[in-house]
Structure 1
Amino acid sequence: MTETSWLWTYVACMAAGAVLFFFWSRDPRHVPQYEYAVAIMIPVWSGLAYTAMALGQGTIEVSGQTVYFARYLDWLVTTPLILFVLASTGMFFRPLDKTTIFTLVGLDVIMILSGLFADLSGESAAKWFWYATGCVCLALILGILWGRVRREAFAHNAEIGGAFTRVNTYFTLMWLGYPTVWALGPSGIGVIDSTTEVALFVILPIFSKVGFSIYDLYELRKLAPKFSEFDEPNPNSRLRKTIP
């Protein structure tokens, strides 16, 4: 497949994901509607960004390499939304910890912009400084999710903690793929060519955006009916236990 074919395939997958989440929202199964709204917004915006690339827009040439800055415009919007819904899964049926969410989003924005600066640095040594900065931010994001958010999820309810752990494991594996592909691609050490990089940056975001939202909503749609009779779950529930 050509680069353009991969890009249009991605757009089609994002459109299909948005339609799926819309239909799920018509039968929410006690999951808050904002979860569906965010799930729809993610593929809509990402699909538009990739449409620009498929139409030959959203790119510039730096030191002989094509920089897809439309990707960063995509990630700058969609990745904070993904972090928001992931954190809200860990805080399901509880007041959202705004400080934690703000910290995650702030680190994410720095991470995305660091990646953009790395791409714009060409062959200068500065690109590895920006790459390392982005990797540090990713490590901090994962540390907060696996530390503070996971502890809060289990302290609230064991089933919520288990659901968050499963979704967060999926999320972690997907997000570790981004710096790996970047480092191996033309922007990094150049082990893989541009077409392969485009293909990987199509496959990976399909699973980390639509795939993630499907898995997250699947877990929430299983959990929500169990708490639908309460404003908050009973703190003395038999489900409550310590972190394993």
Structure 2
Amino acid sequence: MIVSPEMIPSASALPTASTSVAPIPTIVPTPPHIVAAGDVGNRTLWVVVVIMAISSLAFYGMAFRVPVQKRLFHIITAFITTFAFLSYFAMATGDGISFASYTKTEHHKKVPSIDIDVKREIYWARYVDWSITTPLLLLDLSLLAGLSGANILVAIVADVIMVLTGLFAAFGQGKDSQKWGWYAWGCIAYLVIVYQLAIGGRETVARKDSKTKAFYASIAGFTLILWTIYPIIWGLSEGGHIINVDSEIIAYAVLDILAKPVFGFWLLFTHDSMASTSPSLEGFWAHGFGEQGTLRVGDDGEA
């Protein structure tokens, strides 16, 4: 058979090959939402740095105005604001900060709910500060009331437990029950502190003069009210994620200023005005180890 050129189909008339495989969609992971401090929060941190620095210098200056035998409260109080200054300086310069991750669910009326990964700033330097300054502050109150060494030890250990459980709760990445479980243990530790100051402290200070009793009742009550607000702020910020980081910084800054510099000036000015009844520490505190005060290990009193 002879095939003529007219019988050969053109290229456009030939069937074209097609594929039934659709292009594979590319899934781009959604970056986590970052919750961090803004300009207001950062400026607040620097303001507290300055306040803590000035307060520390003032407390050290007040200490040099009294004999060394009566400087115990001055030194302890100055240490409180000094450590607070270091903590706030670290936070203001970007140190002492980490992020805690959690998942937030956004509910919508016409579309399915969406889970969003969130990373929130956690100022762990703040917990380091509290683990040092709050025991010192408790020591101030305990010595003012005249608590026994056993009661002071219990109060300080309970305080450290309270701060550490708050830190563990802030970084808890498990279920809410884990985070709020740590929070509950911290609240129980705080109740131990309240018992030592409110019950034990009131019983021991009752044996002192009327001025000391009235002053202890005022300053201890002031401190316990402030300390009760701290876990509320924690529940609204690191715990419940209800307020933002700037609001958290401002709230803690106000509390820290009241609980440290204001507390310190109140304590020291009142202490100095009651110089006749304030404790005077001699021996090693004032004079070091002399001939008669040297400790000899293993000395049983034999000639």
TM (norm. structure 1) is 0.86
Say if 2:190 is the partner of 1:135. Answer: no
For structure 2, the residue ranges without an aligned partner over 5 or more in a row are 1-38, 102-118, 283-303
Q: Are 2:159 and 2:189, in contact at CA under 8 Å, matched by a contact in 1?
A: yes
CA-based RMSD: 2.0
Q: Which residue of 1 aligns with 2:246?
A: 195
Out of 256, 275, 286, the position equivalent to 1:205 is: 256
Structure 1 pair 196–31 and aligned structure 2 pair: CA distance change class (3 A): farther
Contact preservation (8 Å) 1:69, 1:116: yes
Q: Distance in 1 between matches of 2:226 and 2:153?
A: 22
Which of 63, 79, 82 is matched with 1:25 structurally? Answer: 63
- How far off is 1:22 after superposition? 1.7
Deviation at 1:202, TM superposition (A): 1.1
CA distance in 1, matches of 2:270, 2:165: 33
The residue number in structure 1 matching 2:21 is none
2:210 pairs with one of 139, 158, 169: 158
**Percent identical residues:** 28
After the TM superposition, which of the residue ranges 212-221 and 82-91 deviates more from structure 2? 212-221
Q: Which amino acid aligns with 1:159?
A: K
Partners of 2:165 and 2:183 within 8 A in 1: yes
Partner Cα distance (2:67, 2:255) in 1? 29
Alignment of 1:63-212 (within 5 A): 63=101, 64-91=119-146, 97-122=148-173, 124=175, 125-185=177-237, 187-212=238-263
State the shift of 1:45 in Å. 1.0
Stretch moving more, 111-120 or 49-58: 49-58
SS at match of 2:276: helix
Query: Which one has a larger percent helix, Structure 1 or Structure 2?
Result: 1
Q: The residue matched to 1:2 in structure 2 has which SS?
A: helix
Higher fraction of strand: 2
User: Greater relative contact order (Cα 8 A, min sep 6): structure 1 or 2?
Assistant: 1
SS, match of residue 141 in structure 1: helix
Distance 2:278 2:91 in 1: 43
Radius of gyration: which is bigger? 2
Whole-angstrom distance in 2 between the partners of 1:90 and 1:221? 16
Number of aligned positions between the proteins: 225
Q: Which runs of 5+ in 1 are unaligned?
A: 232-244
